[in-house]
Amino acid sequence: LNIREIAKRAKVSTATVSRTVNGTPSVDPKLARRVWKVVNQLGYYPNTHARGLVSGRSRTFGIIVSEITNPFFPEIVQSFENIAVQHNYEILLTSTINDPERMKLAVRRMIERRVDGVAVMTFGMEEALTSDPHLRSTPLVFVDQSPDDERSSHLHIDYLHGIRQAIAHLASLSHTRIAFVSGPLNLPSARERHQAFLTAMREQAIRVQPEFVVEGDHTMEGGMRALQHLAAHFPHRVLRPTAVLCSNDMTAIGVMRQAYELGLNIPRDLSVIGFDDIRLARFLIPPLTTVQMSQTRLAELAFHALLSAADPSDDTPAPEHRLETCLIYRRSTGPAPK
Amino acid sequence: LNIREIAKRAKVSTATVSRTVNGTPSVDPKLARRVWKVVNQLGYYPNTHARGLVSGRSRTFGIIVSEITNPFFPEIVQSFENIAVQHNYEILLTSTINDPERMKLAVRRMIERRVDGVAVMTFGMEEALTSDPHLRSTPLVFVDQSPDDERSSHLHIDYLHGIRQAIAHLASLSHTRIAFVSGPLNLPSARERHQAFLTAMREQAIRVQPEFVVEGDHTMEGGMRALQHLAAHFPHRVLRPTAVLCSNDMTAIGVMRQAYELGLNIPRDLSVIGFDDIRLARFLIPPLTTVQMSQTRLAELAFHALLSAADPSDDTPAPEHRLETCLIYRRSTGPAPK
DNA sequence: ATGAAAGCGCTAACAC
DNA sequence: GTGTTAGCGCTTTCAT
């Protein structure tokens, strides 16, 4: 069931069918109606492969995330898809489970599919992408940093603002023994958060104890290990941190879970603050105080960056490539125990 | 950079390049090497659209989920993708956010993309799919039930087994006032779980109080509302349920959260059991006792059902289209308070 | 074993 | 405003 079949039945040329289906204005309404009737009647759907072959474009964007099973990402994917649908774009998803090989493969497959752009939401620009000569012709959008390339852009996230608020909040609650569980430090975005923590602590004139900053991996298991480690390291309760800031919410969940294991009450014995504000955060027990980084907004920014690069005819004005963060007060923080 | 360019540089015909790239055995190793060299050197990637156009197949499977932001689904998607990558298939994801219109649109887009099959993981066969005449030529796999169609198949899930265990577990803990928070009852899979609850209760000879079964919607908010409702309905504590079985884990999270709000301790004052065993379940406070339905296994079954329909040449033997469930004991259940 | 050429379904340039 | 037609990049007969 192809365009020729429709043309024959509607007694017009294939060109007219094509024009009708694509909404070219210069078609006689009479003919158009005739064509649409046949199209609907027969249930004709144009073949995307043929379209893509001739146009060179696919109306498809790739989106690469590090771990779809981390609740932070589904929100992004959902928002990205919502906008994509609105703009009649398709999405090709890849969850790389943090495997560079997998990442490379994903890129290759996306190139083969001739995607019109790809959003790389891995929070750390992998070289796999910058090295591939093919990508030089495909619009790419990264988070935090991008290769120095005409077609690539990146979203700038202001981690500092929210983290500054978090530390100020803790300080106002009289906490001075503040720990930080970072993400994997080979990840640029994790490094930025770490830096922001250091900066904010300095601003509040609170000493950073080296043993209080431990490297996590942005997973719940990592969060559990981190607090376990912290607790084991300081047998004397009075020397332990009274608050811990986590590089993401999953880590915070792990920390809270380990606190439960240790018989520590949150926030009475320990205050914890997360980062991301995943939807789940408000449903934790107690509800998690966390730094919000809007996943919806992030997806929107990424999509529009891609769209304006892929389809210059699009009139939507490009929004700022900038994302703010801010603290959301909930119940996992409280006054420092003395 | 197309096949002709490669052919020219390798001084062979385009046919030979095609054969080489596709691993057709009848190519002189000498020529093959020459071709590969050029291919790699220039970084040539065959154009999928052209391939799809001529072959009529796309090596792409669609996967439709109800809500990617429900942590149950990312696990499925990740597993599905893992297998897809292994088999050199691509996936087109759609999260319908339970909107039938959206579902319809998704199907349409997938047809246009000429997917080789689609896994409909919405746990309730929408008519949108059965009505579309086009789908009659595309392999489809559903959960729980499928239209009576040659190309469609479905995965049978044995809800009863796990739920039976759950109720038996509660009974052994002396609970008799057991509530059930169902999913949306227009969803076949939610209805099946509900039925399984009724059956299991009958088997244990425990009376089902009508006011103890409340309809939820498989969200955390729904879980909160459900317990709120239950509590409001029974001002006298002694009349309240001492245990609640939830139709999915998200609901259980909501229930636990509301219990916290109400000052109820779990499991001392209230036992709760979930369903699905999402990864998060073991990280909840307390860790959630729940009925496990393997997301990985589900994805595998779905993929293989599709694969064997789409590519009969594939030799992998089709696994059973059947999925068991079983109870995982954790710490959200305890003896009934008296 | 290799090459020449037809054609997959569609769009766009061009002619009318 | 509509039709004719030449490809888009690839696979696949069919010759050789």
CA–CA separation, A30 and A44 (whole Å):
19
First CA to last CA distance, chain B:
77
User: Residue A124's pLDDT is what?
Assistant: 77
Nucleotide nearest residue A27, measured CA to C1': D1
Chain A residues 10-69 with Cβ under 7 Å of strand D are 11-16, 19, 26-28, 30-31, 50, 53-54, 56
Tokens linked to B259: 């219990």
User: Residue A292's pLDDT is what?
Assistant: 98
B15-74 pLDDT tens trace: 999 999 999 999 999 999 999 999 999 999 999 999 999 998 999 999 999 999 999 999
CA distance B75 to chain A (A): 6
Q: Determine whether the distance from the CB of A9 to the nearest atom of strand C is below 7 Å.
A: no
Window 278-297 of B: residues touching A by CB (8 A cutoff) are: 279-280, 283-286
Among the partner residues A47, A53, A67, nearest to B50 by beta-carbon distance = A53
A51-72 pLDDT tens trace: 999 998 899 999 999 999 999 9
CA distance B252 to chain A (A): 11
Q: Which nucleotides of C are covered by protein (CB under 7 A)?
A: 1-5, 7-13
Q: Do B74 and A69 touch (CB under 8 A)?
A: yes
CA–CA separation, A167 and A165 (whole Å):
6
Strands of the A326-328 sheet, one edge to the other = A213-215, A178-182, A243-246, A271-276, A289-292, A326-328
Mean pLDDT of A157-168: 98
Residue A312 has pLDDT above 80, yes or no: no
CA–CA separation, B277 and B269 (whole Å):
22
Among the partner residues B43, B53, B283, nearest to A220 by beta-carbon distance = B283
A164-217 pLDDT tens trace: 999 999 999 999 999 999 999 999 999 999 999 999 999 999 999 999 999 999
Q: Which residue of A has its CA nearest to B62?
A: A92
CA–CA separation, B212 and B317 (whole Å):
45
Residue B295 has pLDDT above 80, yes or no: yes
User: Residue B194's pLDDT is what?
Assistant: 98
Q: Tell me whether residue B9 is exposed, middle or buried, using C-beta atoms within 10 angstroms of its C-beta: 0 to 12, 13 to 18, 19 or more.
A: middle
Mean pLDDT of A291-307: 96
User: Residue B105's pLDDT is what?
Assistant: 85
Largest distance between two CA atoms of chain B: 88
Residue B282 DSSP class: G
Rounded distance in angstroms from the CA atom of residue B199 to the C1' atom of nucleotide D14: 66
Mean pLDDT of A14-43: 94
User: Residue A269's pLDDT is what?
Assistant: 97
Beta carbons within 8 Å of B304's beta carbon, 6+ residues apart: B316, B318, B319
Chain B residues 13-42 with Cβ under 7 Å of strand D are 14-15, 18-19, 21-22
Mean pLDDT of A228-237: 92
User: Residue B135's pLDDT is what?
Assistant: 66
Instruction: Say how many C-beta atoms besides its own lie within 10 A of residue A174's C-beta.
Output: 12
B264-278 pLDDT tens trace: 999 999 999 999 999
Q: Do A49 and B58 touch (CB under 8 A)?
A: yes
Picking from A110-114, A202-206, B48-52, B257-261, which range would have the lowest pLDDT averaged per residue? A110-114
Contact A102, B100 (CB under 8 A): no
Q: Kindly state whether B104 is in contact with chain A, defined as any CB-CB distance less than 8 angstroms.
A: no
CB pairs under 8 A between A and B: 132
pLDDT band at B320 (very low <50, low <70, confident <90, very high): confident
Mean pLDDT of A208-235: 96
Residue B124 has pLDDT above 90, yes or no: no
User: Residue A136's pLDDT is what?
Assistant: 66
Pairing assessment for the beta strands B152-157 and B117-121 based on DSSP bridges:
unpaired
CA angle A112, B114, B148 (to 5 degrees): 145
User: Residue B151's pLDDT is what?
Assistant: 80
User: Residue B108's pLDDT is what?
Assistant: 84
Contact B58, B114 (CB under 8 A): yes
CA–CA separation, B129 and B131 (whole Å):
5
CA–CA separation, A263 and B289 (whole Å):
20
- In percent, the amount of chain B with pLDDT more than 70 equals 96
Tokens linked to B194: 């509900």
Beta carbons within 8 Å of B170's beta carbon, 6+ residues apart: B178, B243, B245, B271, B273, B333
Candidates A266, A261, A222, A238; CA nearest to A177 is A238
Q: Where are the alpha helices (DSSP H) in A87-156?
A: 100-112, 127-131
Say what the alpha-carbon torsion angle B210, B215, B220, B225 is, to the nearest 10 degrees: -60
Tokens linked to A23: 């909404």
How far is CA A335 from its chain centroid? 33
CA distance A96 to chain B (A): 9
Name which of A67, A68, A91, A258 to mutate to probe chain B: the one with the most chain B Cβ atoms within 10 A of its Cβ. A68
Rounded distance in angstroms from the CA atom of residue B149 to the C1' atom of nucleotide C1: 45
CA–CA separation, B53 and B45 (whole Å):
16
User: Residue A172's pLDDT is what?
Assistant: 98
Q: Do B90 and A90 touch (CB under 8 A)?
A: no
CA–CA separation, A155 and B8 (whole Å):
42
Q: Do B85 and A95 touch (CB under 8 A)?
A: no
A262-289 pLDDT tens trace: 999 999 999 999 999 999 999 999 999 9
Question: Hey, is B237 helix, strand or coil?
Answer: helix
CA–CA separation, B256 and B151 (whole Å):
42
Residue B3 has pLDDT above 70, yes or no: yes
B187-221 pLDDT tens trace: 999 999 999 999 999 999 999 999 999 999 999 99
User: Residue A313's pLDDT is what?
Assistant: 73
Q: Determine whether the distance from the CB of A53 to the nearest atom of strand C is below 7 Å.
A: yes
Tokens linked to B217: 């919607």
A253-264 pLDDT tens trace: 999 999 999 999
Among the partner residues A49, A67, A133, nearest to B49 by beta-carbon distance = A49
pLDDT band at A146 (very low <50, low <70, confident <90, very high): confident
User: Residue B334's pLDDT is what?
Assistant: 98
CA–CA separation, B338 and B320 (whole Å):
45
Candidates B87, B192, B141, B127; CA nearest to B302 is B141
Residue with CA nearest to D8's C1' atom: A54
